[in-house]
Amino acid sequence: MKNNRLMGWLTLGSILWGCGGPSEEPPMAPEPEARVSDAALAGPLPYRGINLAGAEFGSALPGTHGTTYVYPDPAYSNYTTADYYISKGMTTFRLPFKWERLQRTRKAAFDAAELTRLKTTVNRLLGKGAVVILDPHNYARYAGAVVGAGVPNADFADFWSRLANEFKSNPKVIFGLMNEPYSMPTEQWLGAANAAIQAIRNTGATNLILVPGNAWTGAHSWTGSWYGTSNATVMLQVKDPGNNYAFEVHQYLDSDSSGTQASCVSATIGAQRMQSFTNWLRANGKKGFLGEFAGGTDSVCLSAVDNILDHLEANSDVYLGWTYWAGGPWWGSYFFSLEPTSGVDKPQMGALSSHL
């Protein structure tokens, strides 16, 4: 769970930095062309990568591209992040963006300029052999109204029908239904998710769908009841006519699993917080995906990052992979950023490298 305190900090940072990234650092020099091999996508945990942030930045809607938000693509910035991460062995990029920018009015055609930005970025990544996860980073909301209440399920289904039609031709595009739904009955989110899944399948799309749960889709709280009926109970009622879906969870390593602190509870907290969800997957014959996790740069956090990935690898029969939070051109000094500084890897890359 990344709460609004963090997103507010990012909004301010992106406005101050402007369209070229942080003004105090020059753009990185172009890197050699990198490509994801078919072999890298074979075997256990094929999806190993990072969230490429930027298109979801800024609270202003729709905002101004290049000023309040940016797509992490050379066509719109001076960074070549994809080649860097692919050269490290990553295969997969989760691409956050905002629903309201792509679809300015619900149930209306997509904004042409925004769709071009999204497709340019996705197609560039696909051209490198990578897998792309589309991530409407909206917390099950549109302009503040909650999906399944102020936003009818039919509107959410319409959005996904249009998006699926744009990207269904390539199986390397994964459809992440929504980032971190929260503060609603879990049954309400289930209804919205099933409506969107049906709409996707009605287009003829066979792509993998990632389905989050309620309560910021925390792995540690999957079986909990403090937010209402547990995800463990309700999400067993997900209906996919294509039977090609997995459950996406997020798991941070700080004291409250919020992802707002650089410190980590212990070197083994990752596996401990994942265990109940792992057990649930196996008991119910389901698959899981770790869409967000991160730790700071101290030795405890680096061990905790290593530990959570050890857990996924030890349970690769029920997991498809992971994407670290986060990369992208506008992070500056953010404590979880994996963006290299002056060509120097961040410490967290060392913790990830043995799993790539």
pLDDT at site 73: 80
Residue 150's CB: how many other CB atoms inside 10 A? 12
- Under DSSP, the state recorded for 108 is S
Element (DSSP H or E) covering residue 294: none
Residue 43 pLDDT level (bands cut at 50, 70, 90): confident
Nearest to 352 by CA among 289, 319, 307, 318: 307
First to last CA, the chain: 25
Q: What pLDDT digit, counting tens, does each position of 97-134 carry?
A: 999 999 999 999 999 999 999 999 999 999 999 999 99
User: Are the C-beta atoms of 130 and 172 separated by less than 8 Å?
Assistant: yes
User: Are the C-beta atoms of 222 and 214 separated by less than 8 Å?
Assistant: no
pLDDT(60) > 50: yes
Query: Helix crossing, 112-127 with 153-167: angle to 10°?
Result: 50
Nearest to 353 by CA among 50, 81, 129, 82: 50
Residue recorded with tokens 């991460």: 85
345-354 long-range contacts (CB < 8 A, ≥24 apart) are 346/297, 347/297, 347/302, 348/294, 348/295, 348/297, 348/301, 348/302, 348/305, 348/324, 349/88, 350/302, 351/295, 351/302, 351/303, 351/305, 351/306, 352/88, 352/305, 352/309, 352/324, 353/88, 353/89, 354/306
CA 130 to chain centre: 15
User: 29 versus 103: which is more confidently predicted?
Assistant: 103
pLDDT(87) > 90: yes
d(CA 151, CA 77): 34
User: 228 versus 343: which is more confidently predicted?
Assistant: 228
| Average confidence score pLDDT of the chain | 91
Q: Which domains does the chain have, with CATH numbers?
A: 4-353 (3.20.20.80)
User: Are the C-beta atoms of 343 and 30 separated by less than 8 Å?
Assistant: no
Helix, strand or coil, per DSSP, at residue 114: helix
pLDDT(27) > 50: no
The token pair that represents 181 in the structure block:
């739904």
User: 293 versus 32: which is more confidently predicted?
Assistant: 293
pTM for the structure as a whole: 0.92
- Poorest-confidence range of 76-85, 113-122, 254-263? 76-85
User: Are the C-beta atoms of 325 and 259 separated by less than 8 Å?
Assistant: yes
20-24 long-range contacts (CB < 8 A, ≥24 apart) are 20/77, 20/78, 21/77, 21/78, 21/79, 21/329, 21/330, 22/330, 22/332
pLDDT at site 305: 98
Q: Are strands 141-142 and 145-146 parallel, antiparallel or unpaired?
A: antiparallel
Residue 34 pLDDT level (bands cut at 50, 70, 90): confident
Summary count for the chain: helices (H), strands (E): 10, 10
What is each CA distance from 80 to 53, 87, 106, 295, 337, in whole angstroms? 13, 11, 33, 24, 15
Residue positions annotated with a catalytic role: 180, 292
Residue 81 pLDDT level (bands cut at 50, 70, 90): confident
Q: Are strands 92-97 and 131-136 parallel, antiparallel or unpaired?
A: parallel
User: Are the C-beta atoms of 173 and 214 separated by less than 8 Å?
Assistant: no
pLDDT at site 79: 67
